[in-house]
Amino acid sequence: MDKEQILNGCGTYVKFRKRMRKYLSDVSEERLAYFDTHAGFLDNNWGDVLFINPDKNLVRPFLVNSWFEDEITLDSEQLSEAEKQYHIRIPQAYFVEYGYHFGKYEEDKFFMSWTIQPDGRYYADEDGFGAERQTEIILHALINDEGKFITPFRVYSIGGDKYKKD
């Protein structure tokens, strides 16, 4: 059974848990056991992220090959205000090329922070050559307990400073 068959056929947590070991060979048993009682996101280090909620008997692909499984929206008004305030251009990204992080926000909500532009040191070699002049930009959005976005992506931080509207 290949990765695509496992992802496409996962559907329920009970069914998926039986096939998890083959798909997630690099994930510890302790990490897998966490999902027996907690909802959250599981990354397989192949650019895939699964949303798992055992209370709802739900497993669904969230990122597949670093692409969002569902359509995303950006808060274009807020992004435009941030561009004016910081005199930068925020790239319109729909592919997770750099970093991302998931966490618990409230009882039935989660958040995703997503680096759409790393700072210029990202491109430098070990001697510091190749760095570019660019500012790190991180967006964030809220996700419900079914693994669906409930807010558009908004600016979280620019250049390491938490974004605040003037």
pLDDT at 97: 79
Q: Which of 79, 52, 87, 50 is nearest to 141 (CA)?
A: 79
pLDDT of 5 strictly over 60: no
Residue spans per domain, the chain: 3-64, 71-162
Q: Which of 80, 77, 72 is nearest to 96 (CA)?
A: 72
Rounded Cα distance, 87 and 106, in Å: 34
* Residues 42-97 pLDDT 10s: 887 667 888 888 888 888 888 888 888 888 898 999 999 988 988 888 877 777 87
Q: How far is CA 96 from CA 36, 62, 99, in A?
A: 28, 12, 7
